[in-house]
Each structure stands twice: as C-alpha cells, then as structure tokens.
Amino acid sequence: MWLAVVDTAEDTFEVKRISYRYTYSAGRYRMTSKGASVVKAGRLGIEKALGRLLPKPGTREGEEDTAGGDGSRER
C-alpha cells in the first residue's frame, strides 16, 4: 500500500487519492488540472504510518548484514 504524509506549517495530512484531469484538444490529450484527496492526520495515525516503515523486531529482515552469524549487527 502506498502512503504519503504531507507536513505543512499548520497541520499534517495523509494523501488518500491523486487525480488528474485531461482535455482532448487538437488531436491529443492535455493535462488541465491535478487534485489530491487528503485527510487530516492525527498523531496516532502518523505513528502508525511510520511504524509500518520499520522492520518488526524478530523478523529476518536485514540478516545478510550480520557479522559472523552470531546475530549481532555492525554498522
């Protein structure tokens, strides 16, 4: 699932849908407008969205970066 969060000076919004409007003119389609459907994001929603970006503890994600196979990670 694709998720975008937009921060402004006043609030934070979650983008739900993006739309484009085209008009057929002179034998081709031309983009005439763009729009975005957004909802105001609360702190809980932001934390949830950011939490999905991180791997969950105990998963095998990133194990190819382990040092010596003992489970410790070096960065």
pLDDT in tens, 45-60: 777 777 878 877 777 7
- Angle at the Cα of 34 from the Cα atoms of 30 and 38, rounded to 5 degrees: 160
Kindly state whether residue 50 falls inside one of the protein's structural domains: yes
Task: Kindly tell me if the per-residue pLDDT of 32 is higher than 60.
Answer: yes
pTM for this entry: 0.45
Per-residue pLDDT band for 20 (boundaries 50, 70, 90) equals very high
Q: What is the chain's mean pLDDT, rounded?
A: 78
Does residue 71 contact residue 35 with C-beta atoms inside 8 Å? no
Kindly state whether residue 68 falls inside one of the protein's structural domains: no
In which domain, by residue range, is 9 found? Answer: 4-54
Kindly state whether residue 44 falls inside one of the protein's structural domains: yes
